[in-house]
A = this chain, B = another copy of it.
């Protein structure tokens, strides 16, 4: 059973300067996990043509899908569509179908579809539009690259409209056990369990909260009974009353 792979590419100086926190990667990660697609890498790059182009080329060659967020608005710093078109070797211009969507949207509001807004109708040749139920300006899919808005509510709506079109593998299942013992105390037994059960992935995520040290142990696999079996072994190894 092949599990498709994906990469996220966040485009935004505001993330790299620390002004804004990216929340789109986490939203996409959860949506992909539920859909049986493995998010394998995420990158953040600045709003610069060559950096976007190079990242799109590297990621679209390495993974089954690439999702981008940011840089498709009407202002001078919105350069994602042109950079992605360049990366994919496609010509780009204002496209009639995208223009019609924008025209209807602004007509309904009595606003002008001016030159700046028309930039949002620049779509690479051969791309398929992604619906934007919030502010009309569409995203697009070209090859295996899905280009979406950076505003979280719009990004999330676009993910919701793209996801059903993608073929997922069996969903990744996970269970977790909270163990209130230091990682150093449980690591040896946990390492043996992981070595004995290569059919699941076992991660240990330490926490320190209110003076309590412990670890959340997460067991993941596409094989539900295998997850259950290892969880049973974990509970016997680290009983709550131990």
Q: Beyond A116-B187, A151-B208: 6 further Cβ-contacts under 8 Å?
A: A15-B29, A16-B39, A20-B205, A40-B45, A73-B183, A76-B191
Q: Decide: A205 near B74, CB < 8 A? Known: A43-B42, A114-B184, A218-B19.
A: no
With a cutoff of 8 Å between Cβ atoms, the chain B residues found around residue A232 in the complex are: none
Cα(A116)–Cα(B190), bound, Å: 10
A interface list, Cβ under 8 A from B: 13-23, 25-33, 38-47, 51, 73-77, 106, 111, 114-117, 119-120, 134-135, 151, 153, 172, 174, 182-188, 190-191, 194-195, 201-208, 215, 218, 220
Cα(A190)–Cα(B30), bound, Å: 36
CB distance from A65 to the nearest CB of B (A): 14
Q: Are B153 and A76 in contact (CB under 8 A)?
A: no
Chain A interface mostly helix, strand, loop or mixed?
A: mixed
Cα(A185)–Cα(B20), bound, Å: 23
Q: Closest residue of chain B to A192, judged by CB? A: B76
CB distance from A73 to the nearest CB of B (A): 5
Q: Decide: A47 near B117, CB < 8 A? Known: A33-B18, A191-B75.
A: no
Cα(A191)–Cα(B194), bound, Å: 56
Cα(A144)–Cα(B167), bound, Å: 41
Question: Which of B25, B41, B194 has a CB less than 8 Å from the CB of A45?
Answer: B41
Q: Are B17 and A75 in contact (CB under 8 A)?
A: no
A14, A120, A184 interface centre (most CB from chain B within 10 Å):
A184
Question: Which of B18, B21, B74, B174 has a CB less than 8 Å from the CB of A183?
Answer: B74
CB distance from A68 to the nearest CB of B (A): 15
Q: Are A187 and B117 in contact (CB under 8 A)?
A: yes
Q: Are A29 and B18 in contact (CB under 8 A)?
A: yes
A23, A119, A206 interface centre (most CB from chain B within 10 Å):
A206
Cα(A196)–Cα(B73), bound, Å: 21
Q: Are B13 and A18 in contact (CB under 8 A)?
A: no
26 cross-chain CB contacts under 8 A: A15-B26, A16-B39, A16-B41, A17-B33, A18-B29, A18-B30, A18-B39, A20-B205, A21-B26, A25-B44, A41-B43, A41-B51, A75-B190, A75-B204, A75-B215, A76-B187, A76-B191, A76-B202, A76-B204, A114-B184, A114-B185, A116-B183, A116-B187, A116-B191, A117-B184, A151-B206
